[in-house]
Chain A
Amino acid sequence: MYLYLPVALTSINIFLPLGLGLLVGLLSGLFGVGGGFLMTPLLIMMGIPSTVAAATDSNQIVAASTSGTYAHWKVGNVDFKMGIYLLIGGFLGGLGGVQVIKVLRAMGNADFVIKMTYVLMLGIVGIYMFIESLASMKKKGGQEAAVQEKQEEKTSAIGAFLKSLPFQTRFEKSGVTHSALVPIVLGGFVGVLAAIMGVGGGFLMVPVMVYMLRMPMHVVVGTSLFQILFTCIEVTFLQAYTNHTVDFVLAVLLLIGSTVGAQVGTVFGRKLKADQLKILLAVIVLVVTVKIVFELTLTPSLLLSQAGGH
């Protein structure tokens, strides 16, 4: 059964976006990522123009992250206070990132810098998460105490520095105490990179919360979804208002799948251990990295594409 999409100006088999939405929603509920890195290229492969694919994807993420945030909130896995600090940082960082892109474009070769940043960040985050969660899974079978002690020693210098910062505040849900400046600065850092790369930044925000803010993995997933929800509300509105590239019909098809997928993902996520979740996310991030490296090195079948996309 086919439906005609009024903004994408193309006809699509409705089972494709429904299935794709389900898959990406599942990842969203499991790992707290928006899934834009997966959804946008797959939509383009289905014949959706790249500009419409990116904008409609953010509309769909609004639905999936609302569904996911709601499911995680019901089981007490959303740290709203931390989420709001990260959002403030992310918003300021996003503004900065847009300026960085302007400078890069003026200097020429902006696309090269953007792509390389993307590949490097994905690669580093994926490899680090993979190795760390593998080591963590192994250590549970052996000398747990010794490794933990060693790790605590390693982080104590950074810990001391973080403790010395002003505006210390307790984040009850996450069970951590940080200076309010820490999530704002880290959120800002992710915001800059996300704006440069043109992505939501969920895959960066999750490791930042796990490794730098030391939050428990399940609270990280819920809080990340809460933060993604607001980022994508802003992006969707701007895309619809300035570029007219949000396809409402396509978004509805995708969100039917993704809202259900996010709920199922949350249920599965609660059955998995934190390390299992981390290693699965690391594998997905690494697969996406390899895919981008292939795209960059193999001759593309078409050398022309619609202007305005990623």
Chain B
Amino acid sequence: MRKKTIYLKALHLFALLLAGGFWAMPDDARALSVKANHDNIKVGFFYHGSTVKVSGAAGAGSGVVIKITAPEGHQVLRKKGKAAGVLWMNTGSLSFERVPDLYFIRSTAKPESILTPQELEANVIGYGALGRHMEIKPCADEQEKARWFSELVKYKENTRLFSPSGGITVADPSGKREFSTEINWPYQAPSGEYTVTAYEVRDGKVIARSQAKITVEHVGAVKLFADMAKKNAALYGLISLVVAVGAGFGVGMIFGKGGGAH
């Protein structure tokens, strides 16, 4: 009997905590949602990038930041420097840890103007936070790290895989804020799963988060060749050679018959 009372009290306490937590959240935060209209991008032979519309709803008057990232990983890049003080050439390599393949930020206002530095840091929003979040080796000091991070940004922006800013369109029908943004999805983005995170922002703080996924996958002949190049490398190499030699002879014979070579 006593045991049953303890269980009931615990259950009540849990229900109270749950209800308290729920009501402590602003009304609007519970309304946050995000989705991508094109969440399964198929990379076929004629693929040249795509357009992805990210949209959702947040509480009325809230700021919104959208971050799209690929899972973080490890990347080794060659660095150029001056050899003998005058000539530019490869002078070694740098190892980047916790670097996403793709990093896009879109927001209703500049993230730095609607979020506190602590929130930017905690949610890795903006190049400043991303730079501090990443590890770069070997680097003698913070100054050198900042220099190579800015070079990494240039390298990634060159292939359209990093895009630090862009606007979000908002509409405010009764009691909520609807938002949407169009992303020019770069063809350079490799296959894999990408995460779209929407942050609802109020008074400098993130009050809610919502996530959606975008999957990029190779299909058809692209998948066949990409898989064969890795899994059946010897056969792939032989086919490449047979086709090359065959094409060389074929064109030679066509020209020979047509009298082109004579």
Q: Say which size band chain B's interface belongs to.
A: 35 or more
**Distance between B139 CB and nearest chain A CB, rounded to angstroms:** 13
B contact residues around A233 at 8 Å (CB): 241, 245
B contact residues around A236 at 8 Å (CB): 237, 240-241, 244
Q: Among A1, A4, A246, A255, point to the contact of B47 (Cβ < 8 A).
A: A4
B contact residues around A69 at 8 Å (CB): 248
A contact residues around B190 at 8 Å (CB): 9
With A111-B89, A249-B225 in contact, is A10–B249 under 8 Å at CB?
no
**Distance between B102 CB and nearest chain A CB, rounded to angstroms:** 13
How far is B101's CA from A83's CA once the two chains are assembled, in angstroms? 47
Is the pair A296, B93 in contact by a Cβ cutoff of 8 Å?
Answer: no
- List A43-81 residues whose CB lies under 8 Å from chain B: 47, 59-60, 62-71, 74-75
Is the pair A4, B77 in contact by a Cβ cutoff of 8 Å?
Answer: no
- List B213-231 residues whose CB lies under 8 Å from chain A: 218, 221-226, 229-230
Is the pair A255, B88 in contact by a Cβ cutoff of 8 Å?
Answer: no
Q: Among B154, B222, B244, B256, point to the contact of A6 (Cβ < 8 A).
A: B222
Q: Is B12 an interface residue (CB 8 A)?
A: no
Is the pair B241, A303 in contact by a Cβ cutoff of 8 Å?
Answer: no
A contact residues around B137 at 8 Å (CB): none
Is the pair A75, B260 in contact by a Cβ cutoff of 8 Å?
Answer: no
- Given A112-B87, A295-B88, A304-B79, 20 more A-B residue pairs with CB atoms under 8 Å apart are A2-B48, A6-B226, A59-B240, A63-B245, A67-B247, A67-B248, A67-B252, A75-B261, A111-B91, A115-B89, A233-B245, A236-B240, A237-B241, A246-B240, A248-B225, A252-B247, A260-B255, A266-B261, A298-B88, A307-B93
Interface CB pairs A-B, < 8 A, 30: A2-B47, A2-B48, A6-B226, A10-B187, A11-B49, A62-B248, A69-B248, A70-B256, A74-B252, A111-B90, A111-B91, A112-B83, A112-B84, A115-B89, A240-B237, A244-B229, A248-B225, A248-B229, A251-B240, A255-B243, A259-B252, A262-B251, A267-B261, A297-B87, A297-B88, A298-B88, A303-B81, A304-B80, A305-B80, A306-B77
